[in-house]
Amino acid sequence: MKIEILGTGCPKCKATEKIVKQVVEELGKEVEVVKVEDLQEIIDRGVMMTPAVIVDGEVRIVGHVPSADEIKKLLK
């Protein structure tokens, strides 16, 4: 499984990355977590609001910091 966190480095993007990494560690899942900060790459993926979370190539969360429970649901 691959989770990509899209965001340019704003506080909300950093909070999203922290939550995702905490949940992945808590669940002990084999997950690759990648941070995408390049604005052009974010736009090329069709994301106009950050933070965004992509799971295995599918945009799942856009425009808000997800809760730990939201991330857990995505990983099941």
pLDDT at 76: 82
63 labelled catalytic: no
Average pLDDT over residues 15-38: 95
Q: What residue spans define the domains of the chain?
A: 2-75
State the pTM of this model.
Answer: 0.92
13 is catalytic: yes
Tokens of 24: 């992945």
pLDDT (mean) for 36-59: 95
Please tell me the predicted confidence (pLDDT) of residue 29. 87
* Average pLDDT for the chain: 95
Q: Return the percentage of the chain with pLDDT > 70, whole number.
A: 100
Q: Answer whether 59's CB lies under 8 Å from 8's CB.
A: no
Q: Token digits for 57?
A: 């190539």
Among the options 1, 10, 39, 49, which is catalytic?
10
Q: Of the residues 5, 6, 13, 61, which is catalytic? A: 13
- CATH architecture for segment(s) 2-75: 3-Layer(aba) Sandwich (3.40)
